[in-house]
């Protein structure tokens, strides 16, 4: 029994002081003053109880040659500490996830290693080379929930249209990477110009949406111009959604200069005007989802002469959202939770992100008043490439429950998740 918390469930419109009863991994009751004599009680007074947070854009690096950066186990522990009960992995592992065999490999590892729910996307093209489509039907049957050549655009309009027609047949979205990142390593001026081509790729892909009726989800939107095109598509009623990352709505290109390698990311940090446009788009619901693009790298790589792109985020995302969006009034708490729960679930057509009787008991309990300082040395992730190190934040997840089992309690990770009554009895105190 989760007792006396402020239950916020955007899908059902609930925002009230209620009890939540969990049994056999499912939600069995949501009501005031539920009487269940044999239940272990978690006192959630003065806390917020929400659907388990969902991050639909993470890089956990496994399987493949980059497991020294992160693994499914370490990434899932980091996610749990940040309040996430569900994550969706990108397919740009080495080698990439571009076949049913490799999808199966990821999901099999997750069954034994992940302490949170884990889904995966599949590549759009074989090897992410932009030349030949993967077998989308086989990928969907194996469990892929979306397709993307993360890190690379599909430059051929014919190929992206063919992918969209197939994806529409099987009811999954395309999550395109909208910039010419294949040009990295050429002349700097050329690279900079193509890193600003995000909006033009989005404009092109919206034409594809219009022609094929395939759902497109635009990851890590970073430019004001991109938002203009997405807003127009939504006004047309086209099936498009979009996401923003915490670093793109808090940091500017000037911050990148001051912070250094840990702020080198793709898409790059933009101007103050772009940051304000993203915050407004979040407020206006043009941007539907907040996702981290959690991308860990080894310390020595980030400190090298050519640091790779990427920022880690699953352990800081909620705190950044609460401190820099909710507290200033840019988003209501309900809207923020919506963008981190039900909206990503809807974008990917997965049955998560809501508190409803009969649903899996994926629950996050949040202390809005918990003040803390980001310290990368306390992270569960292998990565330390965090631009927010040392920041003071207000608001933090204090408990993460996945399928009715506690995976994080006040910063302590339970791996494997616990149902041990001796441990659970300790939770009758206010968390």
Question: What positions carry a catalytic annotation?
Answer: 293
3-state secondary structure of 278: helix
Residue position matching structure tokens 């807003």: 231
* Structure token pair of residue 72: 């499914």
Tokens 């659907």 sit at which residue? 51
CA separation for the pair 353, 117 (Å, rounded): 12
Residue 173 to residue 46: CA distance in whole angstroms: 38
* Gap between the Cα atoms of 196 and 307, Å rounded: 20
Q: Is the distance from CB of 340 to CB of 318 less than 8 angstroms? A: yes
Three-class DSSP category at 84: strand
Tell me whether residue 1 is exposed, middle or buried, using C-beta atoms within 10 angstroms of its C-beta: 0 to 12, 13 to 18, 19 or more.
Answer: buried
Q: How far is CA 208 from CA 180, 203, 216, 240, in A?
A: 18, 9, 9, 11
C-beta of residue 163 within 8 angstroms of C-beta of residue 124:
yes
d(CA 252, CA 274): 8
Of 31, 40, 26, 29, give the one whose Cα is nearest residue 4. Answer: 31
Plot region of 192 (φ>0 → left; ψ -120 to 50 → alpha; else → beta): alpha
Buried b (16+ CB within 10 A) or exposed e, 240-270: bbbbbbbbbbbbbeeebeebebbbbbbbbbb
Cα–Cα distance measured from residue 9 to residue 412, given in angstroms and rounded to the nearest whole number: 25
Q: Where are the alpha helices (DSSP H) in 250-373?
A: 253-259, 272-283, 299-302, 317-321, 333-340, 342-348
């Amino acid at each position: 029994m989760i007792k006396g918390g402020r239950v916020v469930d955007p899908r059902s419109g609930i925002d009230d002081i209620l009890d939540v009863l969990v049994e056999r991994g499912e939600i069995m009751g949501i009501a005031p003053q539920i009487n269940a004599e044999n239940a272990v009680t978690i006192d959630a007074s003065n806390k917020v109880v929400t659907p388990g947070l969902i991050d639909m854009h993470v890089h956990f690096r496994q399987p493949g040659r980059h497991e020294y950066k992160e693994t499914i186990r370490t990434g899932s522990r980091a996610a749990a500490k940040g309040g996430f009960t569900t994550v969706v992995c990108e397919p740009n592992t080495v080698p990439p996830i571009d076949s049913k065999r490799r999808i199966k490999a990821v999901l099999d590892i997750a069954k034994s290693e992940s302490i949170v729910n884990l889904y995966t996307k599949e590549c759009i093209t074989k090897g992410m080379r932009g030349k030949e489509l993967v077998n989308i039907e086989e990928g969907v049957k194996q469990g892929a929930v979306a397709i993307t050549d993360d890190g690379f655009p599909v430059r051929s309009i014919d190929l992206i249209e063919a992918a969209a027609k197939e994806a529409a047949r099987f009811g999954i979205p395309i999550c395109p990477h909208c910039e010419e990142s294949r040009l990295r390593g050429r002349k700097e001026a050329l690279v900079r110009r193509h890193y600003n081509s995000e909006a033009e790729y989005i404009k092109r892909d919206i034409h594809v949406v219009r022609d094929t009726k395939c759902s497109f989800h635009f990851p890590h939107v970073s430019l004001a111009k991109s938002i203009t095109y997405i807003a127009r598509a939504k006004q047309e009623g086209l099936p498009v959604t979009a996401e923003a990352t915490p670093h793109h709505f808090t940091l500017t290109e000037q911050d990148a200069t001051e912070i250094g390698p840990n702020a080198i990311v793709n898409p790059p940090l933009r101007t103050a005007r772009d940051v304000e446009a993203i915050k407004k788009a979040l407020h206006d619901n043009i941007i539907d989802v907040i996702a981290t693009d959690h991308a860990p790298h080894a310390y020595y790589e980030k400190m090298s002469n050519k640091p790779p792109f990427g920022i880690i985020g699953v352990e800081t995302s909620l705190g950044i959202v609460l401190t820099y969006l909710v507290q200033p009034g840019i988003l209501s708490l309900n809207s923020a939770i919506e963008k981190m729960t039900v909206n990503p679930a809807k974008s990917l057509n997965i049955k998560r992100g809501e508190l409803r009787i009969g649903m899996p008991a994926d629950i996050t309990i949040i202390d809005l008043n918990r003040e803390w300082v980001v310290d990368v040395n306390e992270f569960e992730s292998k990565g330390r490439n965090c631009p927010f190190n040392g920041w003071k934040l207000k608001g933090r997840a204090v408990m993460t429950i996945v399928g009715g089992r506690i995976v994080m309690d006040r910063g302590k990770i339970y791996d494997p998740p616990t149902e041990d009554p001796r441990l659970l009895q300790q939770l009758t105190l206010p968390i």
